[in-house]
Structures are given as structure tokens and as C-alpha cells.
């Protein structure tokens, strides 16, 4: 067992928690399986200093050789102003008897963790001026109110439920039924419907592949903000290409992007044709219509499939309940 002493000094022999008052204030016990040669994973910490009470969600020591070997351990605290602390650890020469000593500690933001890799989860220093895409000389601004506090307020966990499928497959209908079902349970949702977002934010985009990709990217980014706000965001758009959906998924921490495939045959969707668009596409009046002369790539590995056939057409309410059960099971309906 590893024991964190003051300022993150860690020894690999069991020892009771040590009171401390210096930097970091750690008097915490980390139940980390000590493995040789190189990695620790998952641990829990109980700090005596309130600053460090909370969960230790990630401990990944990627040692470099030769010694002194150095790794990083990341601590998440329940205090929003503390954010996330990364400690650099140097590792002694021995194996099981090694001692680990903190070499530095830097504050990072939990928001950054939540926001994913680009924002520092993989160790970039958020204190630095950086360049992201075409934005140069930018610096992450940390807010003292964090996602965990918002989730506590809302008694739910933020996530994005991404509904993909052909036009007419029932995406918008199930999105609204789900929003209603969750609202009735006191959960805050927001629906981002492809059609609707194209009335404003994305009104500059066409249905060419590049513009569809941009449409999906933007809705993914907006969904990420809603998720960070603690809201259960329901995005309902055709999103026909796998790589665009995969890029969106990559914006989110594991589990927070829940992809739902409306598995409905083209024949049924076309039979419904509520807006008369399939008819226009078949007659050549709309070019590049999904399912007609533009491809739809069904998910290979999504979280939920909502299937409809000629013989078996579940009601939107039943589908919504299926999704609610999934959210309940995965813990999204509680803080």
C-alpha cells in the first residue's frame, strides 16, 4: 500500500495517515496497488485537510527510465477552488521498498478534466498561454464554481444523448418524449435538434459532407457545454458519417456521450415522409439527400439501439423509458 505523507511524499510501506500543514496538506492514505514495473491505477484518498478530501480518480505513473524515475499522480478534490492537483513524483531506485517524493504540485481545474484532453486532462499545463486551432495566445480561465457543484445543485449528471438516424426515423419525436419523461422526474434537459440549430447557429451550413461535419462538430461542442453545465443534453440530428460522430464522442469523458441509433428501415422512413422531402429527393429536386443519394453509416458500436420494423413499432414513450432506464442504471439521474 502506498501512503501519501505531507506534500505527497509517498512510501510503499503501510503507515497511518500523517497530519500535515504544508503545501498540499496531504495526510492521505492512497490504497494503490503497487505494481512493478511501471503503473499504478485507480486509488482512493481520504485527506485530513478538507482541501484534499475527495476522490482520487486517476493515478497513472508513467515512469521514465533510467532512474530517477518520474511519474504523475492526479488528485481530484471536492473543493471547487482546489480543482485538480497534479503532483510530480520521483521514484527511488528500489522496487517494492521504493519511496515516492513529491517534486512539485500544480493546480488544475476540474472543468479542464471534464472538458477533456484538449483542455489539459493529459497533463498540459493550464497555466500556460496556448494555441488551439486558429486561436493564438489564449489561456484557460478557471471559475470557482465547477461541474460537480452544478450537478449537486441539479441532482443529476451532465451528459449528451446523441440520437442518430435517417430523416423520418423518429429522432425528434423520441428526443422530445425523453425530455418530457426526464422533466417529469425533475431532471433538467435541453434538446438540440438538427433542424432547429440550423435555424440559427448553423444557418450558414449546407448539406455537403464538409458542412454536415461542421454542423455535427458545433453541436458536439455545444453539447459539451451543456454537459459541463450539468444538463442532460439530447442532440437529435442525422449525423450520417461515423467519423463525425466519433470525433464528437472523443470530446467527452468515457460514458458521457451516449449514442442512440434509430434503427428504422429507409422504406419506413420514406413511407412516413412527414415533410415531403423524400418525394422531392426522389424526383431530383433535392440533391444529396441522406438515404437517397447521400450515404448513412449506421453505428457499429453504440450504447442503445431503438429498432422499429413494419411489424414492431414501439411507441416513442416506451423508447424514452428505455433510455431513462439506461440513464438510471449508469447513475446519470443522481449527482
Ligand X SMILES: Nc1ncnc2c1ncn2[C@@H]1O[C@H](COP(=O)(O)OS(=O)(=O)O)[C@@H](OP(=O)(O)O)[C@H]1O
**Residues identified as active-site:** 239
The stretches of 194-273 forming alpha helices (DSSP H) are 194-197, 209-229, 242-249, 266-272
240 binds, among ligand ADP, ligand X, none (CB under 5 to 8 A by kind): ligand X
Instruction: Assess 86 for contact with ligand X (CB under 6 A).
Output: no
Orientation of helix 242-249 relative to helix 209-229, angle to 10°: 20
Residue placing its CB nearer to ligand X in the complex, 205 or 304 = 205
Residues 6+ apart with CB under 8 A from 30: 1, 2, 3, 4, 10, 43, 44, 45, 56, 59, 73
What residues from 123 to 182 belong to the interface with ligand ADP (CB under 6 A)? 165, 167-173
- Exposure string (b/e) for 53-91, b if CB count within 10 Å is 16 or more? ebebebbebebeeeeebbbbbbbbbbbbebbbbbbebbb
Site string for ligand X, 219-258 (x = CB under 6 A): ------------------xxxx------------------
Binding mask 299-328 for ligand ADP (x = CB under 6 A): ---------x----x-xx------------
Q: How far is the CB of 12 from ligand X (least distance, A)?
A: 52
Cβ atoms of 123 and 60 within 8 Å: the answer is: no
CA–CA distances in Å: residue 171 to residues 67, 99, 194, 239, 328: 56, 55, 10, 11, 21
Q: Is 80 in the site for ligand ADP (CB under 6 A)?
A: no
Q: Which partner, ligand ADP, ligand X, none, binds residue 272 by CB below 5 to 8 Å per kind?
A: ligand ADP
207, interface contact from ligand ADP, ligand X, none, CB < 5-8 Å by kind: ligand X
Q: Which residue ranges make up the site for ligand X (CB under 6 A)?
A: 167-168, 172, 194-195, 198, 207, 212, 215-216, 237-240, 275, 277, 286, 288-290, 294
Q: Which residue ranges make up the site for ligand ADP (CB under 6 A)?
A: 165, 167-173, 272, 274, 308, 313, 315-316
Amino acid at each position: 500500500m502506498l501512503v501519501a505523507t505531507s506534500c505527497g511524499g509517498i512510501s510503499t510501506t503501510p503507515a497511518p495517515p500523517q497530519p500535515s500543514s504544508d503545501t498540499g496538506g496531504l495526510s492521505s492514505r492512497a490504497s494503490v496497488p503497487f505494481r512493478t514495473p511501471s503503473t499504478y491505477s485507480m486509488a482512493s484518498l481520504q485527506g485530513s485537510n478538507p482541501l484534499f478530501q475527495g476522490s482520487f480518480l486517476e493515478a497513472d505513473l508513467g515512469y521514465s527510465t533510467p532512474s530517477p524515475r518520474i511519474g504523475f499522480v492526479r488528485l481530484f478534490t471536492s473543493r471547487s477552488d482546489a480543482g485538480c492537483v497534479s503532483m510530480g513524483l520521483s521514484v527511488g531506485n528500489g522496487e517494492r521498498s521504493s519511496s515516492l517524493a513529491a517534486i512539485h504540485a500544480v493546480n488544475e481545474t476540474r472543468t479542464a478534466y471534464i472538458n477533456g484532453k484538449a483542455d489539459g486532462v493529459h497533463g498540459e499545463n493550464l497555466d500556460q498561454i496556448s494555441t488551439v486551432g486558429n486561436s493564438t495566445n489564449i489561456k484557460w480561465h478557471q471559475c470557482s464554481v465547477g461541474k460537480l457543484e452544478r450537478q449537486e445543485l441539479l441532482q443529476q449528471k451532465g451528459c449528451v444523448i446523441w440520437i442518430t438516424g435517417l430523416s423520418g426515423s423518429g429522432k425528434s419525436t423520441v428526443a422530445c418524449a425523453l425530455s418530457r419523461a426526464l422533466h417529469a422526474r425533475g431532471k433538467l434537459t435541453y434538446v438540440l435538434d438538427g433542424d432547429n440549430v440550423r435555424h440559427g447557429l448553423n444557418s450558414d451550413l449546407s448539406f455537403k459532407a464538409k458542412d454536415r461535419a461542421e454542423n455535427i462538430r458545433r453541436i458536439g461542442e455545444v453539447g459539451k457545454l451543456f454537459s459541463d453545465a450539468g444538463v442532460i443534453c439530447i442532440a437529435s440530428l442525422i449525423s450520417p458519417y461515423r467519423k463525425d460522430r466519433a470525433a464528437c464522442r472523443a470530446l467527452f469523458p468515457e460514458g458521457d456521450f451516449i449514442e442512440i441509433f434509430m434503427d428504422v428501415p429507409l422504406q419506413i422512413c420514406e413511407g412516413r415522409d412527414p415533410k415531403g422531402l423524400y418525394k422531392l429527393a426522389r424526383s431530383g429536386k433535392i440533391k444529396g439527400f441522406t438515404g437517397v443519394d447521400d450515404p448513412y453509416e449506421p453505428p457499429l458500436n453504440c450504447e442503445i439501439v431503438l429498432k422499429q420494423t413494419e411489424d414492431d413499432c414501439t411507441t416513442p414513450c416506451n423508447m424514452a423509458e428505455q433510455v431513462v432506464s439506461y440513464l438510471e442504471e449508469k447513475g446519470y439521474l443522481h449527482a
